[in-house]
Structure 1
Amino acid sequence: MICFSTELVKPLDYAYPTNLIRTYSRESRAETKQGFEGAGVAVMSSSITTAIISSVCAAVAVVIAIAVIRRCRPSKRKMHKKIKAKIMEEISKKYLSQQRAPDDAGSGAVDDVVIEIGPVEKFLHEILNERPMRFSSEQLACYTANYSTELGSGGFGVVYKGELPNGLLVAVKVLKVSMNKKVQEGFMAEIGTIGRTYHVHLVRLYGFCFDASTKALVYEFLENGSLEKYLYRSTDGEETSTRERLEWRTLHGIAVGTAKGIRYLHEECQQRIVHYDIKPANILITSDFVPKVADFGLARLGERENTHMSSLTGGGRGTPGYAAPELWMALPTTEKCDVYSFGMVLFEILGRRRNYDAGLMDESREWFPKWVWDKYEQGDMECIVSGVGEADREKAETMCMVALWCVQFQPSARPTMSSVVRMLEGEMAIVPPVNPFHYVSSGGSSSGWALSTGTGTYTTSRDTVRDSEVSGFSPSPPAKPTDAILKGVKSTDAVAT
C-alpha cells in the first residue's frame, strides 16, 4: 500500500497577504472614484460648451435667414410686377393686332393666355364704356379735326362730326359758351337721363366735356340724320336731291321703333323719364333706318310711385306744335305729355307733311290733325290714306286712329305707350276714337286756334320754346277713360293706365 504524506499533498499557497490585498483594494477604489468624478466634470463642461456654441450658431443662422428673406422680398415683388406688366403688354399687343388685322398665324403659350383672357378684357372694356366718359377740350378738338365738319345747329349749340381714336364716329354737340340757367339745365338733364340708360331705340351718350372753354356732349353718330328730312318738302315744293322718299313700310317701322323707345323711358328703365320734346327733329335714323330718340335737354327723372312731375307745372315747355296742352297751362304734367307729342309725330308721318301749313289754298287742310279728324268722322278714310299702297292700307288706318287717341285733350284719355306699341303692331284692337278737338269747335276755326296757341309755329332746328302765353282753351267735358280704348283687347297682357 502506498501512503502519501500530508505535507506532500498540501496545496501551494500563492495568495498575497491579506493585509496587502485589503490595502490595495481600498486605494484602488479611491483612485477609481476620483478618476470617474474628474471625467464626469470634464464631460459635463464639454457638453455645456457645445450647447452654447450650437445655440449661438442657430441664432446667427436665423438672423441671417431673416435678413436674406427680407432682402429677397422686394426683389420678388419687383420681379412679379415686371412679369405681370410683360404679360399685360403682350395681351394688349395681341388684342390690338386682332382688332386691326385678325389672322390665324402664331400659336404657343402666350397665344393660349390671350385666347383665354382676351374675351374677358374685351368684356370689361365694353362695361367701362357704358358709362359716359369725360373728355378734355383738346381731345374733342383733335377728334373733330378742329371742328371742321358741321352737322347742324340749334338753340343750345352746334353739332360737329368727329371720330374717336378707335375709329368710332361720333356727333359732338358743343353748347353755347355762356352757361346760362337753361343751358345748364339742359346739360345736366342730358347726362342725368340718357347717360344712365341704354336701349336700341335711344341715342347713346358716349361722354361729355366740361372745361372752362368748352361744354360739349358726345353722342353716337347716326348716318341718316333726323326723321324730319324724310317727311317734309323744301320751301319751293320740290323734293331736294338729298332727300329720299321712304316706303310706307319703313315709315311704319320708324313709328313703332320710336314708340318702343318712349315706352322704355316711361315704363321699363329704373327711373321714369319724361322727354318733353318728342318731334321728328329729335328722332334720329341709323344707316338701316332704325329710329333712336335723341335730345334729352328737357327730360326729367321721376320716381315711379309719383304720378305727376310736380316740378313741372305750366311754363310752356316743349316745341309749339308738338307740346301737350297742359304744358302751356298751369296744370300738373305726366308722361302723357310725350304720348301727345308722339301722336302729332304720327300725323306728320301719315301725311308726310308738317301738321300746320299756312301756304295751302284749302284752309280746312292747314291744320292737318283737325282735317284728319273731320275726314275720319265723315267715314272718308280713303282720302286720308290716299298715298298709301293697298298692302299697307290697314296699317295706315291703324296709325290714324292711334294718333287721334294720343292727342286727346285730357291726359287721362290718352293711352300708355305700351298700349300704343301693341296697337301699332296689330296686337290690340282699337275702338273708334272720340273727338280730340271738341274745344276747337267751340272757339272758331282750327287754324285760328292753332296760331293763337303757338301750334302753327315750327322750327327746323332743335330750338325749344319754353315761355309763352297761352289762351283760347275752353273747358272740356270729362274725357273718355283709357279703359274705353282697350275694351277690344286681343292680347291678355294687363294694360297700365
Structure 2
Amino acid sequence: MAEVGTIGRTRHVNLVRLLGFCFDDVARALVYEYMERSALDAFLARWGSDVGVSALLDIAAGVARGIRYLHEECDQKIVHYDIKPGNVLLDGALTPKVADFGLARLVSRAATHITVSGPRGTPGFAALEMWRQSGVTEKCDVYSFGMLLFEIAGLRRNFDEAAPTESQRWFPRLAWTKYEEGNLMDLVAEPSVAAAAGDVARRKEMVERMFKVAFWCVQQVPEARPPIGVVVKMLEGEMDIAPPVNPFHHLMAPPLATMPWTTTTTSGGDTVTAPVGLSEASKNLISL
C-alpha cells in the first residue's frame, strides 16, 4: 500500500501510471499501464546496440526528468531510493518510465536530511551513505542514476565477474581510467549499421556527455553531486559540463609505502622524512 500512496500522488510522462490495485485477503496486485519494451536492463542487453547513441541519450534524459519531477516538482519531495535499470520500464516509443515505488518516501521540502531505518536500495546502485547510520538526502537518487547511466552509456552491466582483470570487473572505474586516457569510445559497443549512421563526432560527443554526467552523479560526497535538475540540463545539452573530479580516488589511492617521500621540518623544528601529503600532526608523530 505504500507504493499506492506514493505513486497515486504523481502524474508525469516519465513515471509509470498506476491504473488500479487489488488489496484483500485473496490477492494483492498493482495494475500498471502496459509497457511493450519491458524493463531497461533487459532492453539494453537485447536491443541496446541497435537503437543508436541518440536514442540511449534520450532514454537517460527521460529517466532524469522523471526523477526531477519527484524531487523538484511535486508538492512534497519524493525520494525513490531504488533507481536502477530494472526499475525503469519502456513503452513502444522507448519512453522511459520510473517504476517500483515500494521503497519511496514522501519528504517535506523543509527537511534537509532524511533518517532511514536500515539500508535501502540495491547493492551496486545504492549510494554509499545508504549503508551508514546517518541522514541521507535526495542525492542518493542522483548517485543511483549515475550508476544507471554507466550501464546505458556502456551497454553493459557495471560488474562483470568474467572480466580478465580486477580493474576491468567494475565498469565505472574502468570508464574513469579510459576517460583520463582520452579513450572513452573504446568502451562503447560497436553499433549496428543503422545505429551507426550519422555524424561520428556528434556520436562521440553524446557518449562523452553521458559518461561525464555519470562521473559527477557518483561523487562520494553527496554535496558534490549535482541536483537532478542540473543533471537534466547537462544531458539535454543546455548546460556545459565541467571536467569531472575523480569519483573513485578513495579506491585508487596508492599504498602508503609506494607514495613519494620528502624531507621536511615539522612545526616543532624536527626534520622528518614522510610521504607527500601527510598531515602535520602525523609528521609530528613520526618525529617522536
| Superposition TM-score tier, normalisation by shorter sequence | 0.7 to 0.9
1:201 paired with 2:14, answer yes
**Counterpart of 1:410 in structure 2: which amino acid?**
V
Structure 1 or 2, whichever has the larger Rg, is 1
Q: Report how far residue 209 of structure 1 moved.
A: 1.3
1:363 corresponding residue in structure 2: 166
Cα separation, 1, equivalents of 2:143 and 2:254: 21
Cα separation, 2, equivalents of 1:289 and 1:243: 11
1:181 corresponding residue in structure 2: none
1:46 corresponding residue in structure 2: none
Q: For the Cα contact (< 8 Å) 2:155–2:189, is it kept in 1?
A: no
2:69 corresponding residue in structure 1: 264
Higher RCO structure, 1 or 2 (CA under 8 Å, sep 6+): 2
2:272 corresponding residue in structure 1: none
Change (3 A) 1:397 1:272: same
1:42 corresponding residue in structure 2: none
1:290 paired with 2:90, answer no
- Structure 1 SS opposite 2:167: helix
Q: For the Cα contact (< 8 Å) 1:324–1:340, is it kept in 2?
A: yes
2:137 corresponding residue in structure 1: 334
| Aligned pairs (5 A) from 1:101-112 | none
Aligned with 2:40 (options 220, 227, 236) = 227
1:64 corresponding residue in structure 2: none
In the alignment, structure 2 segments of 5+ residues that lack a partner are: 256-288
Change (3 A) 1:227 1:386: closer
Identity of aligned residues (%): 55
Q: Report how far residue 249 of structure 1 moved.
A: 1.5
Q: Report how far residue 392 of structure 1 moved.
A: 1.5
Q: Give the total of aligned pairs.
A: 247
**Counterpart of 2:215 in structure 1: which amino acid?**
L
- Structure 2 SS opposite 1:245: helix
Cα separation, 2, equivalents of 1:222 and 1:443: 47
Query: Which whole-Å deviations, capped at 9, do the CAs of 1:394-437 have from their partners, x for residues lacking one?
Result: 11111110000000000000001110000001110111111111
**Counterpart of 1:361 in structure 2: which amino acid?**
P
| Aligned pairs (5 A) from 1:304-453 | 304-310=109-115, 312=116, 315-385=118-188, 387=190, 389=196, 390=200, 391-442=202-253
| Aligned pairs (5 A) from 1:23-38 | none
**Counterpart of 1:363 in structure 2: which amino acid?**
E
**Counterpart of 1:408 in structure 2: which amino acid?**
Q
1:78 corresponding residue in structure 2: none
Q: For the Cα contact (< 8 Å) 1:273–1:302, is it kept in 2?
A: yes
Cα separation, 2, equivalents of 1:304 and 1:286: 31
Bigger Cα displacement from structure 2, 338-347 vs 242-251: 242-251
Q: Report how far residue 295 of structure 1 moved.
A: 0.3
Cα separation, 2, equivalents of 1:220 and 1:431: 39
- Structure 2 SS opposite 1:333: coil
Query: Which whole-Å deviations, capped at 9, do the CAs of 1:268-290 have from their partners, x for residues lacking one?
Result: 01110000000111100001110
**Counterpart of 1:195 in structure 2: which amino acid?**
G
1:79 corresponding residue in structure 2: none
Q: Report how far residue 381 of structure 1 moved.
A: 3.1
Cα separation, 1, equivalents of 2:39 and 2:185: 29
Cα separation, 2, equivalents of 1:387 and 1:357: 19
Cα separation, 1, equivalents of 2:120 and 2:50: 32
Cα separation, 2, equivalents of 1:255 and 1:296: 19
> TM-score, normalised to structure 2's length?
0.81
1:210 corresponding residue in structure 2: 23
Q: Report how far residue 338 of structure 1 moved.
A: 0.5
Q: For the Cα contact (< 8 Å) 2:49–2:155, is it kept in 1?
A: no
Q: Report how far residue 443 of structure 1 moved.
A: 8.2
Change (3 A) 1:382 1:284: closer
Q: For the Cα contact (< 8 Å) 1:230–1:245, is it kept in 2?
A: no
**Counterpart of 1:257 in structure 2: which amino acid?**
G
Cα separation, 1, equivalents of 2:130 and 2:6: 20
Cα separation, 2, equivalents of 1:269 and 1:402: 24
Cα separation, 2, equivalents of 1:323 and 1:299: 13
- Structure 2 SS opposite 1:267: helix
Q: For the Cα contact (< 8 Å) 2:61–2:232, is it kept in 1?
A: yes
Cα separation, 1, equivalents of 2:86 and 2:10: 21
- Structure 2 SS opposite 1:297: coil
Cα separation, 2, equivalents of 1:218 and 1:382: 41
Cα separation, 2, equivalents of 1:339 and 1:271: 18
Cα separation, 1, equivalents of 2:134 and 2:175: 27
> TM-score, normalised to structure 1's length?
0.48
Change (3 A) 1:363 1:350: same
